[in-house]
Amino acid sequence: PFEGAAFTDEYKRKRIRECEQFERQKKEIYSVLNQHSDGNDVRVLDFFRIKSRYYMCMEKVNDLGLTVEQIYAMDWADRLRLCTSIAHAVAGLHQGRMIHADLKHDNILYTYTQGRRITAKVIDFDSSFLETNPPKDGEEIVGDQLYFSPEAREFMDGQPVPLTCKMDVFALGILFHQYLGGSLPLYDRTRFHYPADVVLSGQSLDVVPEMPAQVADLLRQMLQGDPGRRPT
């Protein structure tokens, strides 16, 4: 609460407790992030409060502003390399049992390496949490529902389902299909708003026909409804 605000002492104490809990959670998440990132996850350099606002500082990334269409227009080998770098970044988080929870194209920045090759940087950990400290209710799940896993959708609806790192694997399945196939996974857009709804209805998401068989098989595994059957 900001100084001079006309709040009761009881309300101030309540809000301060909430702030202290927020600080502890963020510091724990950022510590795991920094420990397990080797560069593709953009590290948090500082997290602090000034008066009634919190600030988080990260390395500035000179983003190339690539669209999904521009990435899809790249050579196949370059697209695979970008997907591999993103998977590598997310694998680092998962080693620390940290769930990004909002993986999507807008949260991936693209920049040049010193060798002038394009690489990916994962950002925006505002929605992230640890498997050991998941959200308490569905209102705490925030992000783009286009990339939500089936279990995230169920949790939002009040079902007591476990939330694990496999949430991110489902999101990556959608993102990688955009980069490698040029579109979202295939489903009936007139019946379903989001890919997760397709899976929850008992149907499967499919990949574009021109996808190489090995990659198509991997994407289908990533987009399964059962988190335990998705690859790491």
Task: Of 107-111, 136-140, 204-208, give the lowest mean pLDDT range.
Answer: 136-140
SS3 211: coil
Q: Determine contact, residues 174/147, Cβ cutoff 8 Å.
A: yes
For residue 40, give the DSSP letter: S
Cβ atoms within 10 A of the Cβ of 107, count? 20
Q: How far apart are CA 187 and CA 17, in angstroms?
A: 45
Q: What pLDDT score does 11 carry?
A: 87
Cβ atoms within 10 A of the Cβ of 29, count? 22
Q: How far apart are CA 26 and CA 10, in angstroms?
A: 25
Residue 13 tokens read as 């104490």
Is the predicted pLDDT of residue 4 greater than 70, yes or no? no
Residues 6+ apart with CB under 8 A from 74: 82
Q: How far apart are CA 172 and CA 195, in angstroms?
A: 12
Is the predicted pLDDT of residue 190 greater than 70, yes or no? yes
pTM to 2 decimal places: 0.92
Q: How far apart are CA 5 and CA 7, in angstroms?
A: 6
- Using CA atoms, how far residue 83 sits from 1, 80, 118, 120, 139, in Å, is 43, 5, 11, 8, 30
Calculate mean pLDDT across residues 160-188.
96
For residue 114, give the DSSP letter: T
Calculate mean pLDDT across residues 41-60.
93
Helix, strand, coil shares, percent, the chain, to 5 = 45, 15, 40
Residue 49 tokens read as 């409060």
Please give the residue that has the higher pLDDT: either 7 or 44: 44
Q: How high is the mean pLDDT of the chain?
A: 93
The predicted-structure confidence for 59-103, as pLDDT tens digits, reads as follows 999 999 999 999 999 999 999 999 999 999 999 999 999 999 999
